[in-house]
Amino acid sequence: MADNERSCWQCRYQNYTDSTFLGTCTWFKENEKGDNKEIPPDVVDKGCKHWELREAKKKA
């Protein structure tokens, strides 16, 4: 898998419904490591060590 395929845009922990353009990372709250964090611009296209593939949405 190419690095850009491991971006935050493909990660299950990215919440892009918040008020921030790049979204927030929910890994921290889900793993009891603190509050959700805003995703910085220098990370969003690369991803991070907590990356997990987002499941595809099921079509109705």
Has residue 12 been placed in a domain? yes
Has residue 60 been placed in a domain? no
Has residue 51 been placed in a domain? no
Has residue 37 been placed in a domain? yes
Model confidence pLDDT, tens digit, residues 17-54: 867 789 999 999 999 999 999 999 999 999 999 999 99
C-alpha 18 chain-centroid distance? 12
Query: Number of folded domains in the chain?
Result: 1
Has residue 52 been placed in a domain? no
| Range(s) of the domain holding residue 23 | 3-44
Has residue 17 been placed in a domain? yes
Model confidence pLDDT, tens digit, residues 4-15: 689 999 999 999
Has residue 10 been placed in a domain? yes
Tokens 């845009």 found at: 9
Has residue 40 been placed in a domain? yes
- DSSP letters, 19-59, are SSSS-EE-HHHHTTSSS-EEPPHHHHTT--TT--BPPPPPP
**33 contact partners, CB below 8 Å, separation of at least 6:** 27
Q: Is the pLDDT of residue 1 over 60?
A: no
Q: Is the pLDDT of residue 2 over 80?
A: no
pTM of structure: 0.79
